[in-house]
């Protein structure tokens, strides 16, 4: 099984993140984050002031107000994009972990002792109390507790793990 590493700007993730970032411009979504909601409201107000300045009724030059509005919108969009990228990356990693859990095999010990016979079983079939053998280079198929480990002073280089 090969492991695919996702780069920060993976095209698949970026496309989904841009779509999600634009969807997050909904005021109801923005209101969940008070700091960004204040910046969002400031962006809207500053954009309104820019339109007013274009109609020659503003108190400041239109270029100055446009620059402020652009920075505020950049901040909102960048924050939304960063959040959407992080969410997309974590969802992709969770999906990979779920797929790995189903694909990883386990060496289930018939008896919880050193040297016991081993059965190859799918990692997803492990249950609480099962004892498995994990050797160097093996993928760990389940969460558990190490009950016996390799000690440099002994010649027993195997580890057993009990499913929690």
Q: pTM of the predicted model, to two decimals?
A: 0.57
State whether the Cα torsion 77-79-82-83 is positive or negative: negative
Closest CA to 6 of 90, 76, 67, 83: 90
Question: Which of 81, 102, 123 finishes a domain?
Answer: 102
Across residues 88-104, what is the average pLDDT?
A: 78
Residues 133 and 157 in one domain: yes
Q: Do 87 and 120 belong together in one domain?
A: no
Same domain, 26 and 55: yes
Residues 122 and 149 in one domain: yes
Q: What is the pLDDT of residue 143?
A: 78
Q: For residue 131, give its domain range.
A: 104-163
Of residues 105, 145, 146, the one with CA closest to residue 122: 105
| Main-chain dihedrals φ then ψ at residue 105, nearest 5 degrees | -90, 160
Residues 91 and 156 in one domain: no
Q: What is the pLDDT of residue 78?
A: 93
Q: How many CB atoms lie within 10 A of CB 52?
A: 15
Do the domain assignments include residue 72? yes
User: What residue ranges in the chain does DSSP mark as E strands?
Assistant: 105-109, 118-122, 131-134, 144-148, 159-163
pLDDT digits (tens, 9 = 90+) for 146-161: 887 766 555 554 556 6
pLDDT at residue 74 above 90? yes
């Amino acid at each position: 099984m090969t492991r695919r590493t996702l780069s920060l700007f993976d095209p698949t993730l970026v496309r989904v993140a841009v779509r999600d970032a634009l969807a997050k411009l909904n005021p109801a979504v923005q209101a969940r984050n008070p700091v960004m909601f204040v910046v969002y409201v400031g962006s809207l107000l500053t954009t309104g002031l820019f339109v007013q300045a274009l109609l020659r009724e503003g108190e400041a030059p239109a270029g100055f107000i446009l620059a402020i509005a652009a920075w505020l919108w950049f901040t909102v969009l960048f924050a939304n994009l960063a959040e959407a990228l992080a969410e997309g990356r974590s969802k992709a990693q969770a999906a990979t972990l779920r797929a790995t859990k189903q694909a990883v095999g386990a060496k289930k010990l018939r008896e919880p002792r050193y040297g016991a016979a081993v059965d190859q079983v799918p990692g997803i079939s492990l249950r609480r109390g099962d004892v498995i053998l994990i050797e160097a280079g093996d993928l760990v198929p389940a969460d558990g507790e190490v009950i016996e480990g390799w000690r440099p002073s002994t010649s027993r280089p195997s580890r057993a793990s009990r499913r929690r």
